Structure formats: C-alpha cells, structure tokens
Amino acid sequence: MNHSNRKSQKKFLLATILLLMLFIFLLLIGSEFLLRKIFKESAASPPQQFVYSEIFYHNQPNASWDSINEIGEKVSLQTDSYGLRCQEDCLRNEMDQQVIVLGDSFVFGENSQYSKTFVEQINQNLKMKTLRFLNAGVNGYSNHEALILLRYLYSFLRPKAIFLVVYMGNDLRDAYFLSDKQRIILERTEEASWKQKSNGVYRYKGLLKKVRENSRIVKLIYNVFQKFRYRDKEEMSDYFLAELEFFKKKNSVKAIKAIENVEFTLKHFKNFCNSKKTLCEVVLVPAKSQVYQDLNYLNKLNFVDEQNMDSAIKFLQNKDYSFDRPSEIYASILNKLEIPFLDLTEEFRQHKEEKLYGMIDRHWFPKGEELAAKVMLKRSVVLNKMKQEDSGGQ
C-alpha cells in the first residue's frame, strides 16, 4: 500500500513538473509575442557579422551588408577572405609592404563609406605606394582582443609595422574584464593557426548571441541577469559610469585594476612586436566628451537611468576630475614601456567646430576620420621612420 502511494505521489509530482514547464514555455511564447507587438521591429536583423572561434571572435570573411548611419546614409560594408574591411583583395599585390591597423569600431568605420574610413584615407594620401595599411578593426573589440587577433593575422601576414588604435572612451573600462585565459594568450609570442577549429564553448556563445539578438524576452532576461551579475562591478559594467570613473583624478580600486591590466596588455604588445622584429605604435583616440570637455557628450548618455544620473551629479559636485585624465594614464604607461604613441586629442580640440563625431552615435563622422588620417600621416613616429627608410633606399 505504501509502495503504491509513493508511486502515485511520484507520478503526481512528475505531472506537476511537466505542467509547470509547459506553463512557463507558453508564458515565454506569450511574452515574446506581446513584446514584439509592443516594440515592433523597424528593420530586419542584420546578417551575422562575426565568427566565434576558439578563443576570440572576428569579422565574418567574404561578407557584405549595409548599415544606416544616424543621418540616414546607407553605408556598404564588405570584408575580404580574412575578415579585413576591404572592397577588393587587400593582399593582391605581393610586393606591397603591409601595415596592420588594429582596433575597434573606430578603425572598422561602420558609419563611413570605405573610401572615407580612417585607414583608407591614409592609403589614399600616402606617398609610399608600396606600403598598404590594412583595416583589421572589429566592432566591440577591447585592446586585448585586438592583440589576440594579431596572433592569428600573423599566420598569413608579415607586416612591416603594427598600429594599435585605442579608444579612450571605453578601452580602459574594457581592460578591467581581462580574463586569466586571455592573459595566458597575450604572454605567448608565437602566432596561432587561422584554421584552428572552433571550440564548442564559443559556438555556444555565438548561438546564444543569435537567440538574444532575435528574441525580445531572451534579451530582457539577459539584461536583468547581466545587471545582477555585475552588481559589485557597477562602475565598470556600465559604459556611462566607467567613462566618469576614468576622469577622476584619484583612482578607485577598480580603476587601478583596469590600469594594471592595460599595462600588462601593452607590455605584451611590445614583446610580441619585438619578437617579430616589427615596428609598433599606439594611437590614442579621444572620446567626444574629452574633445569638447563636456559631460553632455558622455558615452551612452541617452540611456542613463536615474541611479546613473545621481552618480553623475555627485561626480560634478566633487569637481575632482579632469578630461585629460585618460590621456595621462595612457601616456604614463606608454612612456614607461617605451612604446611610441600618438595622442589625437589636441588636434581634435583645435578642430572641434567641425562635425567630427555623430550627435547620437559617438563614433567619428567622415571629418573625424579625415582629421585622424592627416594627423597620422604628419606625426606618426613609426610612419615617419618608414618614410625615411624608403627615401634613403631610393
């Protein structure tokens, strides 16, 4: 009898669990349908832009898609067989000496037509016609992710020089999240095989990202989870608060950790270049708030919540901050490591009456891309050295 009762209880429990799971499933479907009705999609989802490989992600090779910038201009985007932004085969001429330009969306230039991008304007105005600058920018990259990509690019490239473009608006913040696994990779000086097979973890992450981008309810759950996950790292998980954090003259504990990670990353950038006997230089790109020295232009300002605004008010009342602080942090590290660098901040401040950045999107407009290319061509230590070597050899 007792055995029969226990069996019945198990069946009842199993049936209850199955009904509960069905209820949750139907609730999720209903919520998704409701959210899609409330927030109708204005356009189709863009094509998959990234490939998730074993230890990093990179641009989808041989891809093409269109993007609409904030002034309504359609921008045609295209990558070559290695994921470099290029409208033709950038490596077609074997006689060309290659220069890799690493970085994030400021290098990739999603808001600009190919001919107007920072990297391509350098190519157009460079008098050394055998020198080819390659656009290895990837949207969303941190400095350490760019340097992991560099090891893969070396499986088919032997560049004469490497430029690492640093966006001071959020790259300090991104450095805070440098993982132990990424540290191990950065410490290595050997290149990695481009054909290395994808790891299940990264395929899983890629699948999750696809689901998140196409599901309203999953995106909502993910955002709540991320807020809970980074509750003890709030200043760094939020782009708005992180940008404020690195304007402070006195470094917080979290800022110190991020700065130490930046030094670690840049030290191994130099070590890698030295091991390959390759010239290297860092280019410092100021955030719009640094150029205009105005907190109204802070990253993600349009999306701040009430709590973030309270933090901003306290920050302003304190007055112990400087818009030059990110430049000072990087200059201190780069001088210590003896890495040549070019800070674009002063030239951008001198031309701030021109439309260098977007109003909503804080990326460069074509004028900003053009100015960055001009400053590079004029003031880059490494580029001037290559010019001298070229003229000496003629």
Which pLDDT score, from 0 to 100, does residue 86 have?
86
Check residue 222 and give its pLDDT: 61
- pLDDT of 119 reads 96
With a pLDDT cut of 90, the percent of the chain lying above it is: 43
Of residues 154 and 291, the one with the higher pLDDT is 291
- Write the CATH number of the domain with boundaries 84-193+231-392: 3.40.50.1110
pLDDT at 350 over 50: yes
What is d(CA 338, CA 332) in angstroms, rounded to the nearest whole number? 10
Half-sphere exposure in the Cβ direction for 19 (13 Å, CA): 6
Q: Which of 8-12, 215-219, 225-229, 321-325 has the lowest mean pLDDT?
A: 225-229
Phi-psi region of 101 (alpha: psi -120 to 50; beta: other; left: phi over 0): beta
Residue ranges covered by each domain of the chain: 1-39, 84-193+231-392
pLDDT band at 210 (very low <50, low <70, confident <90, very high): low
pLDDT, residue 93, reads: 65
CA distance 366 to 364: 6
Name the nearest CA neighbour of 84 among 109, 116, 52. Answer: 109
Q: What integer is the mean pLDDT of 53-62?
A: 79
Nearest to 309 by CA among 238, 383, 216: 238
How many Cβ atoms from other residues are within 10 Å of residue 210's Cβ?
A: 12
pLDDT tens digit sequence for 28-57 = 777 766 766 665 544 344 456 888 766 678
Backbone angles phi, psi at 162, to 5 degrees: -130, 130
Q: Is the pLDDT of residue 378 over 90?
A: yes
Least confidently predicted of 111-125, 207-221, 318-332, 333-347: 207-221
pLDDT per residue as tens digits for the range 238-266: 777 788 889 988 898 999 999 999 999 99
Residues 162, 278: contact at Cβ < 8 Å? yes
Nearest alpha-carbon partner for 179 in 274, 257, 271, 241 = 257
Under 8 Å CB-to-CB from 74, ≥6 apart: which residues? 66, 67, 68
Higher pLDDT, 159 or 192: 159
The H-or-E segment that residue 351 falls in is none
pLDDT tens digits, residue range 175-191? 999 988 889 889 987 77
Q: What is the pLDDT of residue 118?
A: 94
Kindly state the average pLDDT of the residues 148-160.
89
Write out the two tokens for 62: 């041989």
**pLDDT at residue 199, as a whole number:** 42
Residue 241 to residue 227: CA distance in whole angstroms: 14
pLDDT at 169 over 60: yes
Listed in sequence order, the residues at least 6 apart from 339 whose beta carbon sits closer than 8 Å to its beta carbon are: 266, 269, 270, 280, 281, 282
Return the pLDDT at 72. 87
Closest CA to 50 of 61, 39, 42, 41: 61
Which of the pair, 224 or 381, is modelled with greater confidence?
381
CA angle, corner 103, sides to 102 and 108, nearest 5? 100
The 10 Å Cβ neighbour count of residue 3 is 7
What is the per-residue burial (b if ≥16 Cβ within 10 Å, else e) of 346-358?
ebbeebeeeebbb
Q: Poorest-confidence range of 74-78, 186-190, 246-250, 310-314?
A: 310-314
Segment 288-304 shows an average pLDDT of 76
Average pLDDT, the chain: 82
Burial of 68 (0-12, 13-18, 19+ CB in 10 A): exposed
With a CB cutoff of 8 Å and minimum separation 6, the contacts of 224 are none
Task: Considering only residues 367 and 10, tell me which one the structure prediction assigns the higher pLDDT.
Answer: 367
pLDDT of amino acid 170 = 92
Report helix, strand or coil for 277. coil
Predicted pLDDT of residue 281: 98
- Whether the per-residue pLDDT at 383 is higher than 50: the answer is yes
Answer for the pair 76, 70: CB distance below 8 angstroms, yes or no. Answer: no
pLDDT in tens, 87-101: 766 776 666 789 999
191 closest CA partner among 157, 218, 219: 157
Residue 223: pLDDT band by 50, 70, 90 thresholds? low
85 DSSP 8-state letter: B
Q: Cα–Cα distance between 158 and 390 in angstroms, integer?
A: 18
134 pLDDT higher than 60 = yes
Among 368, 152, 129, 109, which residue's Cα sits nearest to residue 272?
Answer: 152
**What confidence score (pLDDT) does residue 84 get?**
92
Q: Which two tokens stand for residue 133?
A: 């600058």
Residue 27 has pLDDT above 90, yes or no: no
